[in-house]
Structure 1
Amino acid sequence: MLNNSTSENRSVISGAGCTFEMDTPELPVENSCVHMEQVITYILSFLQGPDRKDASLVCKIWYLASQDYQFKKKVTYRFPASSVSLDGIRGLGRHPCYSVAISHLDSSPFSRAILQQVALHLGPRLECLSLRGSSITESSFLAVAPHLPALRRLDLSCCDSLFMSGTLLSKEESRQAVRAALRNLEELDLSSLHFLSDLTFNRLTGCSPDLRRLSLAGCHIAFQFDPYRGSSVGCDSTAMLSLKNLHRFLSERAPSLKGLNLGRTGVTPEGLRSLVQVRGLCLEELTLQGCKDLTDQAMTALWKWQPGLKTLDLSFCTELSDKTLLAISSNLKELQCLNLAKNRRITDSGLSDLMELKCLQSLDFSECSYISGGQLVKGLYSPQAQARLVSLSFSSCTLITDLTMFSLAQLVGPSLRVLDLTSCLYLTDLSVRAITTYLPGLVVLRLGWCKEVSDWGLLGLEEPTQECKPDKEKDDKGPKFSRNFGNMGFFSPPKRYLEEKPRRVTKQDLVEFGEREGASLLALRDLQELDLTACTKLTDASITQVLRFQDLRTLSLSMLSEITDSSLVSVASHCRGLTRLNLSHCPTLTDHGLSIAARSLHRLQHLHLSCCDKITDRSLTVLAEECKALKSLDVSMCKKVSMAAVELLQSQLPSLENTHTLFVGGADLFFTL
């Protein structure tokens, strides 16, 4: 029996002939909705988005708490330009909505009506608007832009039709209306615009005086000469965006601009030097992805003039070498995130010095084929090491070995949240056990194409050694000389390591797994993304035992030919929060398993089933009934799936935006090509 006394804040518990009294903390009175809502908001802050959505259905107070700004500001509502979207926009107007992305817009009156509805119902509170890839005109843009006074981020990337005519904001009254609305704009994305010129760039940026981040990735920028006149390009060009005009913009905005993206622009060493030397410019973020003309010597000005950089992306700058890595370690003392992916001239030299950067949190060495990680281990062992890594990527670094991974796991420790080891071909179960033992805080783990990972690694068990050869082989007294070199005993070639098959996990092994506390995959309790693509030695034995994560959102079991319906059903029952599931090229999965699994996957949004030969139209019928949130589906090359079933599914699920149906129904690939 429990009696609560609110006046004295004491609880009296009676039972089994004993009475205990204890002090209890004072709780908000239920009538005080404001205090109660604050408490519930704090509780909901520990939940993932889907869980918070379910919790909002408890009662009105819980619903109001779930609508708090701290939650809504992270949610982006995405919808295409369609008649159904009109009702959705009106509905969003009755709730807090801060970020919207609209696709498939064109120059039609209907698309303009969509934008007018956004301005009318969402405009006053909207902070982020994305029109990426839209084919809108200036009139359509002016239908929404002047009505967004709270806008902080605007994405106009790939909107070529908006800039093609060159008349954008050419009228003074239009500029004044847009300037009044975009006075608080902080981020502007103008990536991949082929018709951006000095004139249109100046008009648009002139309407946003407080810009902090600007993206011009993939734009055509004249860094040297005007191809039409053969001379240096001046400012206010009507044909292209010039280096001089960009230099003038940076000079004017130097005190406020903190982030600049010039990726894939062909920036020259001289052009980069002139930009980073602008007086008063203190960049914190700089992206130079795919700028292949940059060399080690060209980067010298960057270290000298921009020492306060916190985020630096030099991925796919193929001319950079270890000299750049050493310069980064010596000059960028505040660096937090460094991306050197796809730089094949980068080696281990200089990695040890990187660990002396006390602010360093994220490293990406994807496809740096000469990196083995040895110097990184050496740097972490050093007494001067101060880096606290949170994200680490060695994708396609084939020189990474078990020894390196075992050492790194111990040195990096519980702080690591993201680990990408995709296509590290020579990692085995030893690396998996090191990860599960020393990296319990992982949220993202990618082991795709690590083909030596087996059930033993995921279960945290040691694979039993091979049994001795038969007695008759032991009694062999010596080599047998013959014409066949392979039959000569001590000259017989060793078995190929990659062709050896591990011993199957037996029921007795699973009993041992249940009785011991080993370093199995279950130790990664916070896992939200797991990629096991093409780990071909995995079977039902491990998948059914260790894939039990309540917070798991993304899972790839693609190309696991040994798993059956048992794995699928087990995953669905223990990972009910999945939103993205990849089961492509799993030939043994059937309608029976998918039907049972679908009943537990109500949050599923993206499903890949390509090349699953036993999946039929029956599975699509079940998906229409159980997975109402499905947004994309891939059934390419599913021989027993018909186009009629796909079209029926599309009519039953309005949220289904993308369907991949290449060669469904057993279409002849060669005849089609």
Structure 2
Amino acid sequence: AQLNSSKAAISFFSNYFIKLKFNRISFSISHNSQGFRTKRCHSIPSRYKSLNMEWLPSECLASIFQYLSLSDRLRCRCVSSRWKRILLEWSLLNEGRFLIRKDTQWTPFFSEGCPYLFHSIKFLHLESVSISYDRYRHQWDALTPRLRGLVLQSSDISSTDFISILSGCVNLRSLHLVRLRDLFLSGVVLNKEQDVSRLALSLSKLRDLNLSENRYMSDFIFSRLVHCAKELESLDISGCNILNGACAPTSVFTFPELFRRIAQGGCHQLKTLNLSSTGLDDKGLFELSELSSNLSLKNINLSSCSGISGEGLLRLLESQTGLETLNLDHCHRWMNISTEDRVCQIALRLAKIPNVSLAGLYIPDEWNSSSKKLFQALSKGNLWRQLNVSGVRVPGESLIHSFTTGGVLCNLRYLLMSNFSSCFSSERLLTFFGSCRDLRILNLSGVENVTDSVLTLIFSRLKDLESLNLNGCVQVTDIGLGIQETPQIMQSPRSDADSKIHKRELTDVFIDDVEDDIVTIKNLTKLRELFISSTKVTSSSIRNSFFFKDLSKIDVSYCFSLDDSSFVFLGDQCPLLQHVIAKKCNITDVGFIALTKRLKILSEIDVEGNQYLSSHALDDLPLTCRYLKVLNISHCYKISQDAVARVEEAFFNLTLYRHMYSTYQMMNENFNDPILLYKKSKKFEPWKLFCCVSKPSPQLQD
């Protein structure tokens, strides 16, 4: 019977694949005039032989299409007119994002058969490519009218090509011009009034402008760009070389001209301003505060601006009362030079901002007696949603005590306190995490006082965690993750090898009889990211506690007690893993192959420093992990150059990290790399290595 409701369709579709999974059937679906055929290797019940996808409602098909990539959606569009109509109605072909990082990818994209993608691409990112408009004029004319976002990063482009491309982007919402040295160094961009008028028509819908890390930006170019984009809501000029001189020429970038253009250029809708790493000082903050009548900011980033003092920061907080996000990472001067009363006034203002970042803050030791006023002012921040106190150096337990007693953490969702340096006990930390129950992201990397008892409290109270970072917490063991300590009766006085085997067997038997009410990491059912590098976790924890259906990223680097069975369990118990980071954790070819065969949706594999991996581990990688984007095999000395070359040829857009020279391959007599053979010779002269690369000698060729 035909399914009419979407709930019944989803239930039928899921039950069908569950039946196939439990019957261990490998199948492939192909479309024909009668619907779909199922090719099976084993017997399939007769009631599942006539599965027709046309029975499913539009809502169910649209939810299935959302899990496909852009190329797969384009193929589904050609299956039938109904599928094409569903893809268009649900706008599943309008959010295509394309990233090009090399010239070798740039040429085939425009010339060798990708024009069918132009009507679907809405966001284009070009990095380190040579951009030409005249050579691909027809392709640019078909692509630019539909673009909503354009990123030009470290690319080579002339001023004429820049004007020609942006003139066609009439629907552009976001424009990122990052590290375009040659473009702004010439100084001829937007030099003509005709070019300014053309861009003013095309960039009328622009909302986001990013000019970060352009060391040769000038007042003249910036004023022309802001004049073309009058409806800006976000401006990013982080990393630009900005001066404070009021009488500087227009060939340099200055703060007075920046704020004057923001006030007079029609940027009354500006909500986000990023001034990090620009050298902003109190004088610039005073000028920014004077724009409060014409400008109402919500997000300000002032990280790494070491010239900011307490007076300028207080003036800014008093003028911009509607702030929602403030970033003061590595800004020490406002705390060290200002008086205590002024710092307390700043703390009262910070308590009213939902998202605050104070990473790298240093409180002097001489403030130990009078720091209670500061922390009492911060404890009134019950509106905080995000708090970053990573690397904060605080004397004593006054900060932790004020947070636990003032109700600061009751509404907190994101808490980052990596490398938090403070003399607090684990008991105080238990009270600290017991007061925040709505946390979604928790970062405790590098905090030495995180013990197994603290983890037990986290697993029992913070059940809605989506990301947990325990990197560098050396006191974390299997007991903290829920594996009980082995009783004394299970210990055996034998040799080292026999005792390890005997202890492992008895531990497995003991774990099977553990009571169900013990608090383990399995309570975090919504966990998506887990980082446990440099901890004392063993394979027993992964086998008995790591059952995460939504986990997409895991980091088990420097966990030396893991073996191949750990990665087999990860592949079986975490089916949605896409990012696996396992540096120096004794994985071999057996564990690597088992992991890649079980997790075919892997997009990142990092196995740096695993010396037991050989070339055999990469043989089936192009067949099992077709969506791989990042592969790190550096310092895996048993992997040959030929295996690496085969992997690079199999993947089109793969970012590969590997070491330059391999000690193992240099000792291998069958290796035929001329550079390494030249280094193996007795008379090795490093200054002749470049000649060897450019034109090998006849002896090396032989």
TM-score normalised per structure 2: 0.76
Aligned to 2:42: none
Deviations 1:331-353 (A, max 9, x none): 35652211111122389854554
Task: Give the conservation status (yes or no) of the 8 Å contact 1:448–1:534.
Answer: yes
Larger relative CO (CA 8 A, sep 6+): 1 or 2? Answer: 1
Shift in CA distance, 273/178, structure 1 to aligned 2, threshold 3 Å: same
Q: Following TM superposition, by how much is the alpha carbon of 1:652 offset from its aligned partner in structure 2, in angstroms?
A: 1.3
Shift in CA distance, 592/463, structure 1 to aligned 2, threshold 3 Å: closer
Aligned to 2:41: none
Of 342, 353, 356, the match for 1:335: 353
Distance in 2 (alpha carbons) for counterparts of 1:270 and 1:3: 72
Shift in CA distance, 397/73, structure 1 to aligned 2, threshold 3 Å: farther
1:568 aligns with 2:567: yes
Aligned to 2:297: 283
Distance in 2 (alpha carbons) for counterparts of 1:523 and 1:67: 40
Distance in 1 (alpha carbons) for counterparts of 2:310 and 2:320: 16
Name the one with the larger helix percent.
Answer: 2
Q: Following TM superposition, by how much is the alpha carbon of 1:85 offset from its aligned partner in structure 2, in angstroms?
A: 2.5
Distance in 1 (alpha carbons) for counterparts of 2:73 and 2:579: 19
Distance in 1 (alpha carbons) for counterparts of 2:625 and 2:198: 45
Of 446, 466, 491, the match for 2:469: 446
Unaligned residue ranges in structure 2 (runs of 5+): 9-53, 492-502, 668-675, 681-685, 687-702
Deviations 1:325-372 (A, max 9, x none): 643442356522111111223898545544533542100111113277
Distance in 2 (alpha carbons) for counterparts of 1:164 and 1:416: 47
Deviations 1:353-407 (A, max 9, x none): 445335421001111132777635544443x658511100010114365324322
Aligned to 1:517: 517
Of 431, 434, 438, the match for 1:407: 431
Aligned residue pairs total 593
Aligned to 2:240: 219
Aligned to 2:440: 417
Task: Give the conservation status (yes or no) of the 8 Å contact 1:307–1:332.
Answer: no
Deviations 1:117-144 (A, max 9, x none): 6633432332111112222221221232
Task: Give the conservation status (yes or no) of the 8 Å contact 1:56–1:62.
Answer: no
Q: Following TM superposition, by how much is the alpha carbon of 1:570 offset from its aligned partner in structure 2, in angstroms?
A: 1.2
Aligned to 1:268: 281
- More divergent stretch after superposition (49-58 vs 438-447): 49-58
Tell me, what secondary structure is at the counterpart of 2:191? coil
Distance in 2 (alpha carbons) for counterparts of 1:333 and 1:113: 56
1:360 aligns with 2:381: no
Q: Following TM superposition, by how much is the alpha carbon of 1:546 offset from its aligned partner in structure 2, in angstroms?
A: 2.1
Aligned to 1:493: none
Of 369, 372, 391, the match for 2:393: 369
Distance in 2 (alpha carbons) for counterparts of 1:285 and 1:307: 11
1:160-309 matches, within 5 Å, as: 160-223=181-244, 225=245, 232-234=246-248, 237-252=249-264, 253=266, 255-278=268-291, 279-309=293-323
Unaligned residue ranges in structure 1 (runs of 5+): 10-32, 226-231, 470-502
Amino acid at match of 1:337: N
Task: Give the conservation status (yes or no) of the 8 Å contact 1:402–1:431.
Answer: yes
Distance in 2 (alpha carbons) for counterparts of 1:44 and 1:371: 54
1:463 aligns with 2:476: no
Amino acid at match of 2:257: N
- More divergent stretch after superposition (343-352 vs 134-143): 343-352
- More divergent stretch after superposition (51-60 vs 303-312): 51-60
- More divergent stretch after superposition (328-337 vs 194-203): 328-337
Tell me, what secondary structure is at the counterpart of 2:626? coil
Q: Following TM superposition, by how much is the alpha carbon of 1:71 offset from its aligned partner in structure 2, in angstroms?
A: 6.8
Task: Give the conservation status (yes or no) of the 8 Å contact 1:584–1:610.
Answer: yes
Tell me, what secondary structure is at the counterpart of 2:510? helix
Aligned to 2:130: 106
TM-score normalised per structure 1: 0.79
Shift in CA distance, 654/410, structure 1 to aligned 2, threshold 3 Å: same
Q: Following TM superposition, by how much is the alpha carbon of 1:656 offset from its aligned partner in structure 2, in angstroms?
A: 1.1
Task: Give the conservation status (yes or no) of the 8 Å contact 2:363–2:395.
Answer: no
Aligned to 1:19: none
Amino acid at match of 1:445: L
Distance in 2 (alpha carbons) for counterparts of 1:209 and 1:533: 48
Shift in CA distance, 271/570, structure 1 to aligned 2, threshold 3 Å: same
Aligned to 2:453: 430
Distance in 1 (alpha carbons) for counterparts of 2:85 and 2:393: 52
Shift in CA distance, 44/205, structure 1 to aligned 2, threshold 3 Å: farther
1:93 aligns with 2:93: no
Distance in 1 (alpha carbons) for counterparts of 2:68 and 2:456: 31
Distance in 2 (alpha carbons) for counterparts of 1:66 and 1:408: 49
**Moved >4 Å (runs of 4+):** 2-6, 38-41, 47-75, 111-114, 322-325, 346-349, 371-374, 384-387, 464-467, 667-673
Q: Following TM superposition, by how much is the alpha carbon of 1:38 offset from its aligned partner in structure 2, in angstroms?
A: 5.3
Tell me, what secondary structure is at the counterpart of 1:506? helix
Task: Give the conservation status (yes or no) of the 8 Å contact 1:308–1:333.
Answer: no
Tell me, what secondary structure is at the counterpart of 2:124? strand
Tell me, what secondary structure is at the counterpart of 1:338? strand
Distance in 2 (alpha carbons) for counterparts of 1:546 and 1:617: 32
Amino acid at match of 1:165: S
Aligned to 1:490: none
Q: Following TM superposition, by how much is the alpha carbon of 1:53 offset from its aligned partner in structure 2, in angstroms?
A: 7.7
Tell me, what secondary structure is at the counterpart of 2:480? helix
